[in-house]
């Protein structure tokens, strides 16, 4: 999350995203960039943020405002969506459904 009224916060989020990718060594990392305070005068250009987001395969960009409750729910829905997309890439993933063929580790008596 970065503050759209403070360019330094955007620079920090960019660096954080790149650091995450370099540590994970994969682009299959779910990332949602959230520009907060979109109800105020912006200092972070939306097009620049969109270009940065395009670098990541499983990323999204949402501008939101906690104060005016604009797009706040979308942030969480999008995070979940991106997490599920990456989860489906894992070997043996069943498309998000629970695999009923696996043996159960818990037993009830």
> Does the residue 51 lie in any domain?
yes
Q: CATH number for the domain including 41?
A: 3.40.50.300
> Does the residue 15 lie in any domain?
yes
> Does the residue 13 lie in any domain?
yes
**Count of all residues that appear for the chain in the document:** 109
> Does the residue 92 lie in any domain?
no
- If one compares 84 and 28, the residue with the highest pLDDT of the two is 84
Number of domains in the chain: 1
| pTM of structure | 0.72
Residue-number span of the structural domain to which 30 is assigned? 2-68
Q: State the DSSP H helix or E strand holding residue 59, giving kind and residue range, or none if neither.
A: strand 59-63
Q: Determine contact, residues 35/9, Cβ cutoff 8 Å.
A: no
> Does the residue 100 lie in any domain?
no
What are the tens digits of pLDDT across the range 63-106? 999 999 999 999 999 999 988 888 887 776 655 444 444 444 55
pLDDT surpasses 90 at 31:
no
Burial status of residue 95 (CB atoms within 10 A of its CB: 0-12, 13-18, 19 or more): exposed
Query: Phi then psi for 61, rounded to 5 degrees?
Result: -130, 130
> Does the residue 77 lie in any domain?
no
> Does the residue 81 lie in any domain?
no
> Does the residue 18 lie in any domain?
yes
Query: Phi then psi for 67, rounded to 5 degrees?
Result: -65, -45
C-alpha 76: how far from its chain's center? 9
Residue 86: which of 13, 23, 10, 24 has the closest Cα?
24
**Helix axes of 7-24 and 46-53: crossing angle, nearest 10 degrees:** 0
């Amino acid at each position: 999350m970065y503050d759209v009224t403070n360019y330094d916060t955007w620079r920090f989020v960019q660096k954080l995203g790149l650091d995450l990718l370099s540590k994970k060594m994969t682009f299959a990392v779910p990332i949602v960039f959230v520009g907060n305070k979109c109800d105020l005068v912006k200092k972070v250009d939306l097009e620049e943020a969109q270009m940065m987001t395009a670098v990541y395969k499983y990323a999204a960009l949402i501008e939101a405002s906690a104060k005016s409750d604009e797009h706040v729910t979308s942030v969480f829905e999008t995070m979940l969506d991106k997490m599920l997309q990456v989860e489906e890439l894992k070997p043996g993933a069943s498309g998000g459904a629970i695999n009923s063929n696996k043996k159960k580790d818990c037993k009830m008596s």
